[in-house]
Structure 1
Amino acid sequence: MGGVTELATAYPCRLVTSDGVGIDAAHTPYRQTGRGAEGLAVVLAHGFTGTWRSRDTRRIAHVLSGYAGVLSFDFRGHGRSGGHSTVGDQEIHDIEAVVRHARRIGYDRVAVVGFSMGAACAVRHAALMGGVDAVVAVSGPSRWYYRDTAPMRQVHWAIERPEGRLLARVFKRTRILSRGWDPVPEEPREVISRIAPAPVLIVHGDADPFFPLEHAEQLHAAAGEPRELWVEPGYGHAESAASPALIHRLGRWVTTARPLPAVAPEPAAPPLGHGLAAGPEVAPC
């Protein structure tokens, strides 16, 4: 992601999840560009082995801070956060801690923008815990255990093999839980419909080397309204491939995203024989 030389200031903070994990986070205030919305926060959820301190994530936060305040963080087991990565399961508690912090410091609306693993976590958090006003899932999987691409086979090797977890810890500062899921968490495609009426945006590149377009199409098909699907020509995977133009479009989307208005139920007809005379001449008051 080029085009940004001076990054907006990020103010680090330390949060604690409901299950006691320390989360390293940062707040980048809205830069008052006139393009954004007062009172809106974007929670930025990175991909597997990522960190909010990486150059790519910082640049994304910088661009988005032209539209809203941005709260970035490291998932459990990543970077300077505590605990171990559960690769999409318990990370919903991490997002919840950041969303609650955004509310505490005065934001009225909160949108979660997730990339790759962060996209799966954003979907699952909004579906299972609620409390957000919009969700953007970029380069996210629709289902677990996908191994049909070489990069995903490498990811599974890093998660499942002791030597893979060792290399992830040494070279990526990512500590992965050694035991597998028990029980297996619900997949993003199984829960995404529960986000409605909050709006959902699915973004995926047609050149994604990790997850083919079918993942985005499955998520979009399963989501409730309002929902959108953006298929980005030539876009690869997650933060490293995101162009400034795409991030600006995401910023504009989150400033305008709103839930569908509630539809009032039809009033029930009064039962016959309830003190009302029968016949066409008599109407309820």
Structure 2
Amino acid sequence: METNAQPSVPMNQQAVGTAIRRVSFLRRHRALLIALLSIFVSLFSLTMAFHAYVAWKLARPHIDPLRSNPAKAIGTPYEDVTFPGLGSGSNLSGWYIPAESGSAKASRQTVVFSHGYGGNREEIWVPLYDLAKAAHQMGFNVLMFDYGYVQPQLSVTGGIRESEELLGAVRYAKDRGADKVFVWGFSMGAGTALQAALQTRDIDGMILDSTFILEPDTLYHNMKQEANLPKFSQPLVHMFFPLLNGVSLNQIPYTKVKETQYNIPILFIHGKKDLKAPYEMAEEIFANQKANSGSELWLLPNDGHELIYKAHKKSYLQTTTGFLKALSQAKSEPVKFSQSR
């Protein structure tokens, strides 16, 4: 029986033919393939380098030099002071404004100001001088100090080292004779105060303005304000941060901060148009405080980050000084922490 079928090509010959065609294709398009690979490697390298730079820059914000001092700015005597952070290894500088003579009760009480990210002890855009003057006129000692990252050799750690530095400031106030210490914090300085309050019973109350806590969602929220970055930028910055700065953002106890019932009076001040620290976080922390803790929430509908005092000077001072007065007159009780459920 006849057939027209062609004799089959052995499989090994087919494989050889396929390989020859592939080699021929690669030779013809070698330059194109190398160019595409080079572009991919370059884009990948640039993406990694960009996010490494963001992580490096995040920990090293620009800090303006001091412009004045309490004597020139608000007419109060002051002392240049230095003290160590509590376990942080950093040495901190600040101004101590003693209470006016004749205010015996209040002179045993001190207000410690905790400035925000990118600022120093003056926090000019608030400005802290005005609030220091108000506290001083009420008869409080006042401590204004710089966090360690104001020094060029140190970097921002999102409250990890800064909370120990704040504890050093509280300890300094105690060593100067304060029976009560109240922390008045701003932005990351407010978030740092919440972290510090987890570690001590020496803080008797806090005023927290525009509370900022560096958690993943807040980090991405702020990155979006600077550039329209994709969501994958957040984990990349988190990855590079410890490699370049020595600490991991995962060490920030933001979950514990948001869940803890502090049992000390806290006045939360926040604007609903805050583009750096979403006001919902302050609401959440306040909601976890016990009804009898003495804590309060002052939420303003049309104000931004750390701009509330400038927009509402009279009501801001009435609210904050009234809160301080209540704190100063309250009887001290043992502080116990608990986790809300």
Q: Does 1:76 align with 2:152?
A: no
C-alpha separation in 2, matches of 1:209 and 1:104 = 38
The number of residue pairs the alignment matches comes to 239
CA drift of 1:88 comes to 1.6
1:220-259 alignment to 2 at 5 Å?
220-224=286-290, 225-226=292-293, 227-238=295-306, 240-243=307-310, 244-245=313-314, 246-257=316-327, 258=330
- Confirm whether residue 87 of structure 1 aligns to residue 158 of structure 2: yes
* Structure 1 pair 180–64 and aligned structure 2 pair: CA distance change class (3 A): same
Higher relative contact order (CA 8 A, sep 6+): 1
Sort the Cα spacing of 1:14 and 1:154 in 2 relative to 1 into closer, same or farther, 3 A. Answer: farther
Query: Is 2:281 the counterpart of 1:210?
Result: no
- The answer to whether the 8 A contact 2:112-2:169 is kept is yes
**Structure 1: distance between partners of 2:263 and 2:309:** 27
Give the 3 Å change call, closer, same or farther, for CA 76–205 of structure 1 in structure 2: same
Aligned to 1:250, the other structure's residue is in SS state helix
User: Does the 8 Å CA contact 1:151/1:210 hold for their aligned counterparts?
Assistant: no
Answering whether residue 121 of structure 2 is matched by residue 52 of structure 1, we say yes
Matched residues in 2 for 1:130 and 1:13: separation?
24
Residue 146 of structure 2 aligns with an amino acid whose one-letter code is D
Q: State the alpha-carbon separation in 2 of the partners of residues 59 and 7 from structure 1.
A: 11
Aligned to 1:267: none
Match of 2:256 in 1: 190
What is the distance in 2 between the residues matched to 1:31 and 1:248?
Answer: 21
How far 1:144 sits from its partner (Å)? 0.8
Q: Distance in 2 between matches of 1:27 and 1:115?
A: 19
Cα deviation, residue 221, structure 1: 1.4
How far does the alpha carbon of each residue in 1:259-278 deviate from its partner, in whole angstroms, 9 at most, with x for none? 7967xxxxxxxxxxxxxxxx
Q: Tell me, yes or no, if the aligned pair for 1:45 and 1:114 is still in contact at 8 Å.
A: yes
**What SS is found at the alignment partner of 2:264?**
coil
Give per-residue Cα distances to partners, 1:39-64, cap 9 Å, x unaligned. Answer: 22111000001101343222322222
Equivalent in the alignment of 2:111:
42
Match of 1:201, SS state, is strand
Match of 1:16 in 2: 84
Q: Distance in 2 between matches of 1:141 and 1:214?
A: 11
**1:261, 1:54 → 2: CA distance?**
32
How far has the Cα of 1:180 moved from its partner? 4.5
Contact 1:22 1:82 in 2 (8 A): no
Amino acid at match of 1:11: E
CA distance in 2, matches of 1:234, 1:96: 34
For 1:10, the aligned partner's letter is Y
After superposition, the Cα gap between the structure-2 partners of 1:249 and 1:11, relative to the gap in structure 1 and judged at 3 Å, is farther
Which residue identity is paired with 1:37?
A
* Residues 1:152 and 1:87: Cα distance change in structure 2 (over 3 Å): farther
Q: 5 Å matches for 1:58-137?
A: 58-67=129-138, 68-78=140-150, 80=151, 83-137=154-208
TM-score normalized by structure 1?
Answer: 0.71
Query: What letter is aligned with 1:53?
Result: E
Unaligned runs of at least 5 residues, structure 1 = 166-176, 263-285
SS at match of 2:137: coil
What does residue range 146-185 of structure 1 map to in structure 2 within 5 Å? 146-147=218-219, 149=221, 153-154=225-226, 178-181=245-248, 183-185=250-252
**SS across alignment from 1:62:** helix
5+ residue gaps, structure 2, are 1-71, 335-341
TM-superposed deviation, 1:123: 0.8
> Distance between the aligned counterparts of 2:260 and 2:332, measured in 1?
14
Gap change, CA 1:250 and 1:82, over 3 Å in 2: farther
Q: Report deviation, 1:9.
A: 3.5
Any idea what the Cα deviations from partners look like across 1:192-230, whole Å, max 9, x if unmatched?
564633212211112322123211111111233412111
User: Which structure has the greater CA radius of gyration?
Assistant: 2
Question: For the aligned residues, what is the CA RMSD?
Answer: 3.3
Q: Percent identity?
A: 21
Instruction: Please tell me whether the aligned partners of residues 203 and 231 of structure 1 are also in contact (alpha carbons under 8 angstroms).
Output: yes
Moved more, 113-122 or 225-234: 225-234
